[in-house]
Structure 1
Amino acid sequence: MSVMQAASDAVAAPATTAPAGRRRRPRLLWRVLPPVGVFALIIGAWYYISYGVLSQSRRFLLPPPDQIIEVGFGDPKNFDALMRGLGLTTEVALLGLAIAIVVGVGAAVLMSQAKWLELSLYPWAVILQTIPILALVPLIALWLGFGFESRLLVCVLIALFPIIANTLFGLQSADAGMRDLFRLHGAGRATVLFKLMFPAGLPAMFAGFRISAGLSVIGALVGDLFFKQGKPGLGILIDVYRSRLQTEQMYAAVILASLLGIAVFVFFGWLGRQVVGKWYQAGRG
């Protein structure tokens, strides 16, 4: 009887694995088809507005996508200018984000170690977030001029607060019972920080990194728009194309800036899944 049972199990085993493979395909389609469908609707509405709503004399307000690709990206001279602008904007955004991560995580760690530090520093971080960055631009220009450093500072100021807030929340979310257990075994502050608080805070920290990743691109564009000296980034190009009514080139620059923000956001989402997943899997092991 046992031999017959084993044989029947061996025959039935492949049948149980096949439906699992088939189930992955509908799930993948379910994740891909909705955004692709929305994208198709947007492109369709775009063409309808360009050709059905706007007259030919006003079509420059929203040129159709094929003209944007042809004029904005197809012209070698314009494409070269866009790539150089993208390079500078990417440099400012990534460097500003890196500085914001170092400063933000460092400030959150300090505030998590002493309540009086949190009460002293966190209100100023909130005030810095609530001050309109455009009100600080003239002061930054007076202090640092209109070059690369001013653009970088604007980028850091815009991207800083979400990192501080999310990192502090994550570090403080460590289980109180585990803190008591660590202290009971004589663990020091550094041990509690790196072996308890950081593992507990990583999901919130990477959520802050993803938010600030998009904000860093916005900061780089804002810095370009207001500090118009030096090499032109995408922000300067957008403003120049706007003033010349070169809307195809302007939309191409806007699309590149959007793709840069999406790429940085997706990268930090992927990095967060890798780091957080490995950290927690190691902890479970």
Structure 2
Amino acid sequence: MVGLAIATPATRSVPGWRIHPVLRKAIAPVVSIGLALAAWYAVSLVLLAPDRRFLLPPPHTVLTESLMDPATLEMMLRALAVTARVAVTGLIVAALLGVAIGVLMSQAKVIERVVYPYAVVLQAIPVLAVVPLIGLWFGYGTTARTIVCVLIAVHPIIAMTLFGIQSVDGNLRELFTLGRANRLRRLVSLELPAALPSIMASLRTAAGLSVTGAIIGDIFFAKGQPGIGTLLDNFRARLQSEDLLAALLLAALFGVAVFAIFTVAQRLTVGRWHASGR
């Protein structure tokens, strides 16, 4: 036990044994990606017969025959830009509506009892079931795609905003009451800052849902500029497996990028005073 206690600090003091914190955090994702690629190759080259390999082409084929083709890549990036605009627009609208509704419900129990059941029903109904109705009412263009994003993304913002405001420490509420602060002052100076971690967490979740909604809207509302979802549907219909997987990878990378942006935003806004910002 004594030898172990002496050897451990000595080992840690050797510079060659130290791993940079950034590299330490990157080890798990790199290993995970490597295992996923190995599994992909195993299914494509070992489990699938050559005449059925079109169902899941190996990664290098997707890279060489789709992503490295300038014309195909340009088409996909242009479509992804359309989807990104719809997703961002839908997220902004959902954030404004969600925070506003959550604040209103927190200020009056009557409003909460009237509005919250509709928010729950909106979340419970599969969005694909209301897509035909959205198209009938709002057409089959960008407006309909944006509405799909809002419907999918707004509920977590409403729920988490309400939860964050209702979770404010009662002692702090009493302190503001003793200071004779009015309802607006209490909301701006106490409740919204205290609810900020919950709101930022909901925005991070809603960002991913908005991307999903934009892709769903692309698939069902094909009028106007094609989005990445439109290309996914076209590639599926034509059995263009390499292009289909390449478009899926680009859509996934965009979703990860959006999630990462809001993770950074959460850390910047919440800072070190809350566990969610660490």
Q: Which runs of 5+ in 2 are unaligned?
A: 1-11
Q: Distance in 1 between matches of 2:177 and 2:17?
A: 48
Give the corresponding residue for 2:231. Answer: 237
- Name the aligned partner's letter for residue 170 of structure 1: G
1:78 is displaced (CA, Å) by 0.8
Aligned to 1:114: 108
Equivalent residue, structure 1, for 2:271:
277
> Which stretch shifts more, 260-269 or 69-78?
69-78
Matches within 5 A, 1:221-232: 221-232=215-226
* CA deviations over 1:202-232 (Å, ceiling 9, x no partner): 1111110011110000000110111122111
How far off its partner does 1:24 sit? 7.5
Q: How far did residue 31 of structure 1 move?
A: 1.9
Cα shift at 1:30: 3.4
Amino acid in structure 2 at the alignment position of 1:211: T
Indicate the RMSD between aligned Cα atoms, in angstroms.
Answer: 2.0
Q: Secondary structure at the match of 1:47?
A: helix
1:95 counterpart = 2:89: yes
Shift of 1:28: 3.7
TM-score (norm: length of structure 1): 0.88
Structure 2: how far apart are the matches of 1:142 and 1:45? Answer: 43
**What TM-score do you get using the length of structure 2 for normalisation?**
0.90
The C-alpha deviation readout for 1:34-56, integer Å capped at 9, x for no partner, is: 12111101101111111111111
2:193 aligned residue: 199
In 2 relative to 1, CA 184–29 (structure 1 residues): closer, same or farther, beyond 3 Å? same
**Cross-structure match for 1:167:** 161
One-letter code aligned to 1:136? V
| 1:23/1:94 CA distance change after superposition, 3 Å | farther
Q: Which residue of 2 aligns with 1:85?
A: 79
Aligned partner of 2:5 in structure 1 is none
- Note the C-alpha offset of 1:69: 1.1
- 2:129 corresponds in structure 1 to 135
Q: How does 1:66-77 map to 2 (within 5 A)?
A: 66-77=60-71
What are the superposed Cα offsets for residues 130-173 of structure 1, whole Å, 9 maximum, x if unpaired?
A: 11111111111111111110001001100110111111111111
Q: Give the partner amino acid of 2:85.
A: E
Supply the AA of the counterpart residue of 1:177: N
1:10-45 Cα offsets, whole Å, 9 max, x none, are xxxxxxxx96x9998364443211121111011011
Q: Which residue of 2 aligns with 1:218?
A: 212
Give the partner amino acid of 1:127: V
Pair 31,48 (structure 1): closer, same or farther in 2 beyond 3 Å:
same
Percent of aligned positions that are identical: 47
Q: Report what 1:49 is aligned to.
A: 43
- Counterpart-to-counterpart distance in 2, 1:241 and 1:138: 23
| Structure 1 residue matching 2:19: 3-state secondary structure | helix
Look up the match of 2:145.
Answer: 151
- Aligned counterparts of 2:171 and 2:163: Cα–Cα separation in 1: 17
Q: Pick the aligned partner of 1:255 from 249, 254, 268.
A: 249
- Residue in structure 2 matching 1:264, options 227, 247, 258: 258
What is the match of residue 123 of structure 1? 117
In structure 1, runs of 5+ residues without a counterpart are 1-17
Give the number of equivalent residue pairs: 264
Flag the structure with larger Rg. Answer: 1
